[in-house]
Chain A
């Protein structure tokens, strides 16, 4: 099965090459730990579509708040993809 956590971390490190993504706390919101704004969340969603054909509708963006919530929200999508 795909390592969803790693997939999201890889996308973030490509979006924000100056950010240190090695010590992220999975239960703390990504916005608190990194310099991410709504434009960047749009990028995460578009990269998920581009790389993994996974669609995230706009109303579900809040489910990408932490790495933990990303994993629980995205994992079923990767299984069915």
Chain B
């Protein structure tokens, strides 16, 4: 079997790359280990017959970042629509109400109108007014898409602009937990991407959640003639003696193509490629992994108790974005209220999702008997936090579920259950092996919009402009 390109992984980046290549008549094959598409942003269902039947859940997507209004131009999301030939309305975006960064003595709200965050900073940190303005100007004029940009520490740059430690921590918190593979810091290019996509552009969610995006991508891929094989694991990337990738081994069968795009992560890709071409270079596996508890109540939490969409919660005097010493870090969390994307809907069940940072090694060492009680402990802790934020809420809990770093590893095959991948990114997608390119998380564009743009730009650069 001969293809023009093979893509490993049917997540957001792989599907987007497949669409771009297929659109220009390349014969594309996408190989996916899981039985469904989506990768890190996927979905599942749970049957719970005595409590309301089958429920659908999203994994990953709390928010689609990079919100634009219809007709807004020159933004990442509008580029994505054009490159994949979607119209704005197909995504059916429901904008957030607002979100907030909640620390012990201070709260900063932000929404899809950047002026809210600006006025919040002015009000709560009046001495930082001019400094914050300068920081914003620096960020807005920074070319984060310059793939040759060297590595810069965001924390260092923030310290040069701002003096108040608390403000620095608060501004860093959402970008870190929504995309940093590193502990306690991130690359400044990535910070700029996140600052614009979270604070300047904002959050929305497609009606129907992540399935809406995946369905759009799968239909488009089919339309342009792309092929996907599910439950198909790639065990080896074939490299010839000139150091060029020319195919893969999938389920024991060799499949050939002159170009391979891998979305499975950089360390994960190196593991299945011929090691000798990497001459000792091995991208490091990141330390950041997470736990998430989902709660379904018999009613929605009334807006008068909580009208925010996402709360970046921290209950300690410092914000630590690092692999916790214990199984999870209960002092900080991201709490997502997906119902508040459609605050006019008051009928129906209420959902809360709560994410904690977790320690992979400790979870990995748990025995089967210890694992479920530990998940239960996390879930109890999370439910306490939900109650603490909305103490008057009387809704009856109908269903709960928790996924752990082991769950992430089991369904995404990311080593150590990492969500933001390796701390070694390859911004232009190149690897020491010719014709083997990295797309998705470890190419370095972040979030759902970022990973689709990663697939698009790498397919354009390596598959269409420099077609081998």
Chain A residues at the B interface, C-beta cutoff of 8 Å: 14-18, 35, 37, 39-40, 42-43, 46, 50
Contact = CB atoms under 8 A, between A and B. Distances in A.
Contacts of B86: 17
B25 A17 contact: no
A18 to B, nearest CB: 5
Contact of A46 (B24, B74, B79, B87): B24
Given A18-B70, A18-B88, A46-B464, A39 B25 contact: no
B391 interface: no
A2 to B, nearest CB: 21
A20 to B, nearest CB: 10
B53 interface: no
Contacts of A46: 24, 464
A24 to B, nearest CB: 15
Interface string B202-226: 0000000000000000000000000
B465 interface: yes
A50 B456 CA distance: 18
Nearest to A38: B460
B460 A39 contact: yes
Given A35-B78, A39-B456, A50-B25, 4 more contacts: A35-B73, A35-B82, A37-B74, A42-B460
B16 to A, nearest CB: 13
17 contacts: A14-B85, A15-B85, A17-B85, A17-B87, A18-B71, A18-B81, A18-B87, A18-B88, A35-B73, A35-B74, A35-B82, A39-B456, A39-B460, A40-B82, A42-B464, A42-B465, A50-B24
Tell me whether chain A's interface is mostly helix, strand or loop, or mixed. Answer: helix
A74 to B, nearest CB: 19
Contact of B83 (A14, A18, A35, A39): A39
Contacts of A42: 460, 464-465
A35 B456 CA distance: 18
A50 B21 CA distance: 12
B450 to A, nearest CB: 15
Contact of A16 (B24, B82, B460, B464): B82
B24 A15 contact: no
Tell me whether chain B's interface is mostly helix, strand or loop, or mixed. Answer: helix
Closest 6 CB pairs of A and B: A35-B73, A17-B87, A16-B82, A46-B24, A18-B88, A18-B87
B429 to A, nearest CB: 16
A35 B78 CA distance: 9
Contacts of A17: 81, 85-87
Contacts of B25: 50
Contact of A15 (B82, B457, B460, B465): B82
B24 A37 contact: no
B255 to A, nearest CB: 25
B79 A39 contact: yes
Contacts of B457: 39
Nearest to B74: A35
A8 B341 CA distance: 39
Nearest to A16: B82
A76 B173 CA distance: 58
Interface string B450-467: 000000110010001100
A16 B73 CA distance: 11
Nearest to A17: B87
A40 B456 CA distance: 12
Interface in B163-217: none
A59 B86 CA distance: 29
Contacts of B465: 42
A39 B456 CA distance: 10
Nearest to A35: B73
A17 B86 CA distance: 7
Contacts of A18: 70-71, 81, 87-88
Contacts of A16: 82
Interface in B422-468: 456-457, 460, 464-465
A74 B252 CA distance: 49
A55 to B, nearest CB: 13
A50 B83 CA distance: 16
B90 to A, nearest CB: 9
Nearest to A40: B82
A17 B81 CA distance: 9
A44 B408 CA distance: 40
A37 B83 CA distance: 11
A36 B86 CA distance: 15
Most buried by A among B25, B82, B85: B82
